[in-house]
Amino acid sequence: MKKILAIVLSAILVLGMFSACGSSAPAETQAPAQTPAPAETKADAPAETAAPAEPDTIVIMAPPVTGSYLENLKKWAADFNAMYPNLTVEIIETSWDEHNGKLSTMAQAGEAPDIAEISSGALGTYVEMGVAIDIAKYMEEGRLNDYDANALAYMSLEGTAYGLPLYLTIQSIGANKTLMEELGIDVQKIQNEGWTYEEFLDVIKTGTTDSRYGFVFANSGVTASDMLYMFGAGVGLSNTFTPELKYAFTSENMLILLKAIEEMTGSGYMPNFGVEAGQRMVMCQTGNAMIFGKAMPLFEANFKKNNAALEANDGTAVEGSQKMDYAFLPVPTMAGCAESCYGTVDGLIAMRNKDTTDEHLKNVLLFMDYICSGDRIAACMNDLYLDPVCQSGRDALVLEEGRDENNLATAGRCIAMVQAPPAGVTAEMTATAKQLMDEQIVPKFQLLLAGETTAQDVYDHICEAAYAAFGQDNCAQGMLG
Amino acid sequence: MNKTNGPRLRARRKARFTNDDLWGYVFIAAAMIIFCVFTLYPVINAIYTSFFNYKPFGSEFVGLKNYTDTLKYSKFNLFYKAAWNTLVYTVIVVPLSLLLSFTISVMILPFQKKVQSVFKAMYYLPGIASGVALSVVWLWLYDSSPDGLFNKFLGFFGVPTQNWLSSTKTSMLSLIIMALLSSHGTQIITYIAALLGIDNSYFEAAELDGATFFQKVRYIVWPLVKPTTLFLLVTGVIGSFQVFMNAYMMTGGGPDNSTTMIGLLIYNNAFEYAKYGLACAQAIILTIVIALMSVFQFKLMGVDVEY
């Protein structure tokens, strides 16, 4: 009897171990409720098509792109199912922290979701892996024309589109507009006309006191690369590769950028310690910093919410914060370079897995196009304070009231300045550039921010590493632009 | 035993496969299945994959290229830097951790059992806490601003603000301090069990001879807990060589790759750069290094140790 009991317990132990293993179904699948579409949502299909007969399940994996994105995604999935009753959508909800690692693991196991959210910078990795799909082959004819060419370029490599853009986000700097105006700084002029690095340095010097930094940037750990990309746009380094497909970060523009950052961090107008991503906006809201980065247009909503909380005195405001207006500012230009803005696209890609067939891919692209266009994307862009990157999205967009007109105009101006990556960049080039940035450039840049090396040393190291990776002939020399 | 009967007796024993033998195999089958599925199979698969440029659909056989790429010396090959960082981390953390655990165990031992249990539970708590949660707390402790907890504490002694995780001077030290202060619960419990197994008669004899406390520790306790020390040393080295969570959560391997450990390098190659075959090769090399070190430790310290 005891032996039988022991056997049963051992079997339960073994089965319990196996039950934790994933099956072909995703671990965190949320099947949408089979309910009629909500009344307020227009179930407008991208185009009229005959509903496919075969039942099919489309799996999408997405993080919370906006606060309400995942909730909206369930509604859109239900609407889509109402239009195509034989097509079911399963949603895998992830957090930003786990999304990339989880997606990479699933893709390498050959069990990638049909659709996944990615940053355009990661596209090359999945194309190299062989799991990304040429979407033009499976989309309805003409539908790609709905999307802006520059945004679509971020989701393409060597002329092949592998995904659809959700949004083109711009990264720049934000400021305490109230304080800047009190100090006599013409914020509107900066927003309308831009400014040079020297003017920027004067402004942050004006804003620095014993208890306040003129400028703070979230540069702790891997976020240090944001500073390079963002300020790089102001010195002619809008993309990793030049139009001639040479690696851009070996140009003299990079040395100018590094020297400027060396000057900024050694000036005393910025903290001499690493600032976490979550601290930068808080430091501005509590009056410990006047200008901060990186910043995005949607931070206006955070400032408004904090102001409302201060007025209501309900205890939800940031501790020690002050009431202030938010100004979205362009990146300063350096060395006479043309004004530009760093932009990146987040989008959705279609991925191959063990169950992929051509017919299935058509259904996948049908759904992907559906959620990347029309009033679905318009709702998303309202939350992000960004312009849609497709015509149907712009047609459906109804701007939220109460947005600062100057910030709106600045964001629009900055978006227009974003330069799409050049055509012809290969997946291998992108993947190599990513590894070079992560393993060689960012680590040395962190040393520069800590004041433990010089701009020249960092530049020399970047050049050496880039020559080893790409060959000297494929690296930019001299001044660009 | 009669020598002429020995081989025939062994042969008879060999031939008899009893019911008890069968049940024995059945009972160990659970552990063996789990071992084979979750340890042996992945290792064999990793060895196999390390000879390929792995892609989910259509891997390419590359022979030893992943190994040569790993071991080829270049200023930009992070493997050697990661190996050095891991070695430094191990050489400092493991002996200090053992010493700390042993000292704390000796200090806990004189207390009553209930009090011992309280201390054991307190020291073991970090071991059951989530590594991610612990890292978040330590990130807060290591806040580089003047208001960060450690900086504020050091400020009372006139020490200037430290850029704990963002400076090469303090980043590795930060990880080492974190490891020393949060990961010796298991060692303490193991040492206490070993100390409780020492016969009191040794201490009584030593007291009669007028031995001091430190003499008792040096000549009685330390030699008698040697098997435990060897076990903890070997497992400590194995664990330290595989360190990943601390570096991943706290520093991301920076600044200037000063805290990039081999475990983190393998993770980045596998999941950031999708170089799964290369990551498998690096993992196999790490396994071989750990195995060699374990054998070396047993040879050096384990000559007179029996378990």
Would you call B256 and A7 a contact, using CB atoms and an 8 Å cutoff?
no
pLDDT at A15: 66
Q: Which of A99, A106, A273 to mutate to test the interface with B (most CBs of B within 10 A)?
A: A273
Which comes out higher in pLDDT, residue A165 or B128?
A165
Q: How far is B277 from chain A (nearest CA, A)?
A: 11
pLDDT at A13: 65
At residue A173, what are phi and psi to the nearest 5 degrees?
Answer: -120, 150
Asked if residue A188 is part of any domain, the answer here is yes
Q: Which of B143, B161, B254 lies closest to A446 in CB terms?
A: B254
How confident is the model over B241-299, as pLDDT tens digits? 999 988 998 898 989 999 999 999 999 999 989 899 999 999 999 999 999 999 999 88
- Asked whether the predicted pLDDT for residue A50 surpasses 60, the reply is no
How would you classify residue A29: left for phi > 0, otherwise alpha for psi between -120 and 50, otherwise beta? beta
How is A308-377 classified by DSSP, letter by letter?
HHHHHT-S-SPTT-----EEEEPPPB-TTPPP--EEEEEEEEEB--TT--HHHHHHHHHHHHHHTSHHHH
Continuous segment of H or E residues that includes residue A394: helix A391-396
Nearest CA in chain B to A126: B274
Which comes out higher in pLDDT, residue A470 or A53?
A470
The answer to whether B37 contacts chain A (CB < 8 Å) is yes
Partners of A30 in the β-ladder: A91
Q: Name the burial class of residue A452, with classes exposed (0-12), middle (13-18) and buried (19+) by CB atoms within 10 angstroms of its CB.
A: middle
Q: Which residues of A touch B143 (CB under 8 A)?
A: 276
Mean residue pLDDT of chain A comes to: 88
Give dist(CA A154, CA A200) in Å, integer.
30
- Asked whether the predicted pLDDT for residue A279 surpasses 70, the reply is yes
Q: How far is A59 from chain B (nearest CA, A)?
A: 18
Scanning A44-93, the segments in alpha helix (DSSP H) are 69-83
Would you call B251 and A221 a contact, using CB atoms and an 8 Å cutoff?
yes
Instruction: Cis check for the bond before A243: say yes or no (omega within 30 of 0).
Output: no
Give me the residue label for tokens 């270049």: B74
Cα dist from A51 to A55, A80, A142, A363, A389, whole Å: 10, 11, 19, 10, 27
Q: Name the burial class of residue A318, with classes exposed (0-12), middle (13-18) and buried (19+) by CB atoms within 10 angstroms of its CB.
A: middle
How is A421-480 classified by DSSP, letter by letter?
PPTT--HHHHHHHHHHIIIIIHHHHHHHHTTSS-HHHHHHHHHHHHHHHH-GGGB--S--
Q: Is A213 helix (H, G, I), strand (E, B) or coil?
A: strand
Nearest CA in chain A to B58: A130
pLDDT at A403: 87
Asked if residue A306 is part of any domain, the answer here is yes
Q: Which residues of A touch B29 (CB under 8 A)?
A: 10
The answer to whether B170 contacts chain A (CB < 8 Å) is no
Nearest to A352 by CA among A118, A109, A182: A109
The answer to whether B257 contacts chain A (CB < 8 Å) is yes
Give dist(CA A148, CA A163) in Å, integer.
13
* Beta-carbon contacts below 8 Å between A and B: 128
pLDDT band at A52 (very low <50, low <70, confident <90, very high): low
Which comes out higher in pLDDT, residue B303 or A377?
A377
Which comes out higher in pLDDT, residue A153 or B9?
A153
Would you call A431 and B76 a contact, using CB atoms and an 8 Å cutoff?
no
pLDDT at A429: 93
Q: Which residues of A touch B141 (CB under 8 A)?
A: none
Give dist(CA B235, CA B129) in Å, integer.
20
Asked if residue A321 is part of any domain, the answer here is yes
Q: Is A45 helix (H, G, I), strand (E, B) or coil?
A: coil
Q: Which of B57, B143, B165 lies closest to A130 in CB terms?
A: B57
Work out whether the CA dihedral A457, A459, A463, A465 comes out positive or negative.
positive
pLDDT at B7: 60
Q: What value does the mean pLDDT take over residues B159-188? A: 90
At residue B162, what are phi and psi to the nearest 5 degrees?
Answer: -105, 140
pLDDT at B283: 97
Asked if residue A176 is part of any domain, the answer here is yes
Would you call B34 and A109 a contact, using CB atoms and an 8 Å cutoff?
no
Would you call A221 and B165 a contact, using CB atoms and an 8 Å cutoff?
yes
Q: Is A275 helix (H, G, I), strand (E, B) or coil?
A: coil
Give long-range contacts, CB 8 A cutoff, 24+ apart: A453-462: A454/A262, A455/A255, A455/A258, A455/A259, A455/A261, A455/A262, A456/A255, A456/A258, A458/A258, A459/A254, A459/A255, A459/A258, A462/A249, A462/A250, A462/A254
Task: Write out the E strands in B77-193.
Answer: none
Q: Name the burial class of residue B201, with classes exposed (0-12), middle (13-18) and buried (19+) by CB atoms within 10 angstroms of its CB.
A: exposed
- Asked whether the predicted pLDDT for residue A34 surpasses 50, the reply is no
pLDDT at A383: 87
Nearest CA in chain A to B35: A14
Instruction: Cis check for the bond before A294: say yes or no (omega within 30 of 0).
Output: yes
pLDDT at B129: 83
Q: Which of B56, B252, B257 lies closest to A221 in CB terms?
A: B252
pLDDT at A23: 41
Q: Which amino acid is at B259?
A: T
**Domain of A177, in residue numbers:** 170-343
Q: What value does the mean pLDDT take over residues A300-319? A: 93
Q: What value does the mean pLDDT take over residues A92-97? A: 92
How confident is the model over A407-429, as pLDDT tens digits? 999 998 998 899 988 988 998 99
pLDDT at A18: 60
Would you call A271 and B139 a contact, using CB atoms and an 8 Å cutoff?
no
Which comes out higher in pLDDT, residue B306 or A28?
B306
Q: How far is B252 from chain A (nearest CA, A)?
A: 6
Cα dist from B59 to A366, A435, B53, B62, whole Å: 30, 21, 6, 9
Nearest CA in chain A to B22: A3
Q: What value does the mean pLDDT take over residues A338-343? A: 94
The answer to whether B271 contacts chain A (CB < 8 Å) is yes
Give dist(CA B71, CA B77) in Å, integer.
9
How confident is the model over B72-110, as pLDDT tens digits? 999 899 999 999 999 999 999 999 999 999 999 999 988
Q: Which residues of B touch A128 (CB under 8 A)?
A: 274
The answer to whether B279 contacts chain A (CB < 8 Å) is no
The answer to whether B136 contacts chain A (CB < 8 Å) is no
Q: Name the burial class of residue B65, with classes exposed (0-12), middle (13-18) and buried (19+) by CB atoms within 10 angstroms of its CB.
A: middle
Q: How far is A443 from chain B (nearest CA, A)?
A: 4
Which comes out higher in pLDDT, residue A287 or A397?
A287
Q: Name the burial class of residue B234, with classes exposed (0-12), middle (13-18) and buried (19+) by CB atoms within 10 angstroms of its CB.
A: buried
Q: Which residues of B touch A443 (CB under 8 A)?
A: 253-257
Domain count, chain A: 1
Would you call A431 and B273 a contact, using CB atoms and an 8 Å cutoff?
yes
Cβ–Cβ < 8 Å for A320, A288 = no
Cβ–Cβ < 8 Å for A298, A384 = yes
Would you call B54 and A452 a contact, using CB atoms and an 8 Å cutoff?
no
Q: How far is A336 from chain B (nearest CA, A)?
A: 31
Cβ–Cβ < 8 Å for A392, A383 = no
pLDDT at A476: 96
Q: How far is B63 from chain A (nearest CA, A)?
A: 19
At residue A160, what are phi and psi to the nearest 5 degrees?
Answer: -105, 125
Q: Which of A1, A446, A467 to mutate to test the interface with B (most CBs of B within 10 A)?
A: A446
pLDDT band at A30 (very low <50, low <70, confident <90, very high): very low
Give dist(CA B69, CA B275) in Å, integer.
12
Q: How far is A269 from chain B (nearest CA, A)?
A: 15
Give dist(CA A356, CA A96) in Å, integer.
26
Asked if residue A323 is part of any domain, the answer here is yes
Give long-range contacts, CB 8 A cutoff, 24+ apart: B284-287: B284/B46, B284/B47, B284/B50, B285/B67, B285/B70, B285/B71, B286/B241, B286/B242, B286/B262, B287/B43
pLDDT band at B9 (very low <50, low <70, confident <90, very high): low
- Asked whether the predicted pLDDT for residue A27 surpasses 60, the reply is no
Q: What value does the mean pLDDT take over residues A200-205? A: 96
Provide the whole-model pTM.
0.85
pLDDT band at B12 (very low <50, low <70, confident <90, very high): low
Continuous segment of H or E residues that includes residue A90: strand A87-93
Asked if residue A222 is part of any domain, the answer here is yes
Asked if residue A318 is part of any domain, the answer here is yes
Asked if residue A84 is part of any domain, the answer here is no
pLDDT at A37: 32
Give dist(CA A324, CA A178) in Å, integer.
6
- Spacing of C-alpha B97 from chain mean position: 11
Give dist(CA B107, CA B123) in Å, integer.
13
- A289-295 and B60-61 as β-strands: parallel, antiparallel, unpaired? unpaired
Q: Which residues of B touch A3 (CB under 8 A)?
A: 23
pLDDT at B6: 57
**For residue B35, what are the contacts with CB-CB under 8 A and spacing of at least 6?**
none
Percent of chain B residues past pLDDT 70, beyond the cut:
94
- A156-157 and A213-217 as β-strands: parallel, antiparallel, unpaired? unpaired
Please give the DSSP secondary-structure letter assigned to residue A108.
Answer: H
Cα-Cα end-to-end distance for chain A: 84
Nearest CA in chain A to B171: A221
Q: What value does the mean pLDDT take over residues A87-116? A: 94
By 3-state DSSP, what share of chain B in percent is helix, strand and coil, each rounded to 5? 70, 0, 30
- Asked whether the predicted pLDDT for residue B14 surpasses 50, the reply is yes
Mean residue pLDDT of chain B comes to: 90
ipTM: 0.83
How is B207-226 classified by DSSP, letter by letter?
HHTT--HHHHIIIIIHHHTH
- Domain holding A294: CATH number? 3.40.190.10
Give dist(CA B129, CA A289) in Å, integer.
36
Q: How far is B247 from chain A (nearest CA, A)?
A: 11
Structure tokens at A352: 């191959």
Nearest CA in chain A to B76: A465
Q: Which domains does chain B have, with CATH numbers?
A: 76-301 (1.10.3720.10)
Give dist(CA B150, CA B162) in Å, integer.
9
pLDDT band at A400 (very low <50, low <70, confident <90, very high): confident
Cβ–Cβ < 8 Å for A132, A126 = yes
Q: In chain B, positions 66-125, which contact chain A (CB-CB < 8 Å)?
A: 74-76, 78
